[in-house]
């Protein structure tokens, strides 16, 4: 039995109560699924941002999975985040128990020494699918990019790239991801990641690291190979100007399958474009297979970022 996750999101913050900690907040959250028999194992990764010029106090998060029908908490875990350095981003993954098909709210609360200072919620639908014998059908959804440090007198940047992968078919064979960054037709950088087997309706993020000269524009392409055979290649829709990206800020870019026709101008398109981010995966799946609706509202108006996504491996 396969499981489909249909996801949408929103966020909130208790900034009016703890205004002095307003610059420490949940910037985003990945919700990932792994089918286990007739149920699904959920893994949640909260991204905690500290925009202050000093390190934070001790932080923790509480993650709950709430059944929307009964309003009962079906899974719950606490996760220590420790201190988040000044002007930096911290994230960690926590695996919760398995859940049955149904509608759920996944809520993450950010706490400082036990006091609530922010929250974020995702609403997911898990549906059973009897097509377990189908072959794998791999979709590249989006790409997270974060500069972790500058080197060589700020002339170069250490860049972490995390493309999102969704298997909307049956269990895959061993997969390999290859990420290529190009500045022109003569200059390119390539790194790879062994993804292993992705079960049907499973989702994950690959991870590679580059060191780039900052004063250049880069176009990215991501290829997934199954048993050594290329099965899909997707690309970013526009060049990335590395010198315009701040350190420790996660940027998200949609991936479009190679050969996809250019989007029609506004007014001529047959439907709305997909929302970038790992939640954007579900919008793409809507167009290709699974009827998914995404929405996300970040209550922090001054720092809202399009950082949607699910899991970092």
pLDDT at 43: 86
Cβ atoms of 47 and 29 closer than 8 Å: yes
Instruction: Return the pLDDT at 225.
Output: 96
Q: What is the dihedral of CA 106, 120, 203, 5, to 10 degrees?
A: 50
> In whole angstroms, what is the distance from residue 301 CA to residue 232 CA?
37
Per-residue pLDDT in tens (0 to 9) along the chain, 313 residues = 444 454 444 555 444 444 344 589 998 888 887 777 778 888 888 889 898 888 898 999 999 999 998 999 999 999 888 888 888 888 888 888 788 888 999 999 999 888 999 999 888 888 765 445 678 899 999 999 999 999 999 999 999 999 999 888 888 899 999 999 999 999 999 999 999 988 887 888 999 999 999 999 999 999 999 988 999 999 999 999 999 998 888 888 999 998 776 554 444 443 333 333 444 444 444 444 433 334 443 444 344 444 344 444 4
Q: What does the pLDDT read at residue 174?
A: 92
- Look at residue 87 in the predicted model and tell me its pLDDT: 85
pLDDT at residue number 10? 53
DSSP string, 223-238: EEEETTEEEEEEEESS
Find the Cα–Cα–Cα–Cα dihedral 170, 203, 163, 252, rounded to 10°.
130
The helix or strand, by DSSP H or E, that contains position 281, with its residue range, turns out to be helix 280-288
- Please state the CATH superfamily assignment of the domain spanning residues 138-262 in this structure: Immunoglobulins (2.60.40.10)
CA angle 125–129–130, rounded 5-degree value: 165
Residue-level pLDDT at 153: 92
pTM of the model: 0.59
What is the 3-class SS of 282-313, one letter each residue?
Answer: HHHHHHHCCCCCCCCCCCCHHHCCCCCCCCCC
pLDDT for the residue 263? 56
């Amino acid at each position: 039995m396969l499981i489909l996750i249909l996801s949408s999101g929103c966020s909130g913050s208790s900034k009016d109560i703890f205004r002095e900690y307003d610059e420490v907040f949940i910037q985003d959250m990945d919700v990932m699924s792994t089918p286990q028999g007739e149920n699904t194992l959920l893994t949640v990764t909260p991204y905690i941002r500290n925009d202050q010029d000093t390190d934070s106090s001790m932080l923790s998060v509480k993650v709950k999975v709430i059944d929307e029908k009964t309003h009962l908490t079906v899974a719950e875990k606490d996760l220590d985040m420790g201190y988040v350095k000044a002007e930096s981003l911290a994230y960690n993954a926590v695996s919760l128990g398995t859940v049955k098909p149904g509608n759920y709210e996944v809520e993450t609360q950010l706490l400082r020494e036990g006091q609530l200072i922010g929250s974020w919620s995702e609403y997911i639908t898990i549906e059973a699918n009897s097509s377990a014998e189908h072959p794998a059908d791999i979709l590249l959804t989006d790409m997270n990019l974060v500069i972790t440090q500058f080197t060589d007198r700020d002339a170069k940047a250490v860049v972490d790239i995390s493309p999102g992968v969704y298997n909307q078919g049956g269990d895959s064979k061993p997969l390999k991801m290859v990420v290529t960054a190009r500045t022109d037709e003569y200059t390119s950088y390539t790194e790879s990641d062994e993804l292993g087997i992705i079960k049907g309706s499973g989702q994950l993020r690959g991870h590679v690291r580059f060191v780039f000269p900052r004063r250049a524009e880069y176009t990215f392409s991501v290829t997934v190979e199954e048993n050594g055979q290329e099965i899909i290649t997707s690309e970013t829709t526009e060049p990335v100007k590395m010198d315009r990206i701040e350190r420790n800020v996660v940027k998200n870019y949609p991936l479009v399958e190679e050969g996809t026709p250019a989007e029609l101008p506004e007014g001529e398109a047959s439907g709305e474009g997909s929302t970038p981010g790992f939640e954007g995966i579900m919008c793409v799946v809507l167009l290709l297979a699974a009827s998914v609706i995404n929405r996300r509202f970040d209550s922090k108006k001054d720092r809202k970022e399009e950082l949607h996504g699910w899991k970092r491996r």
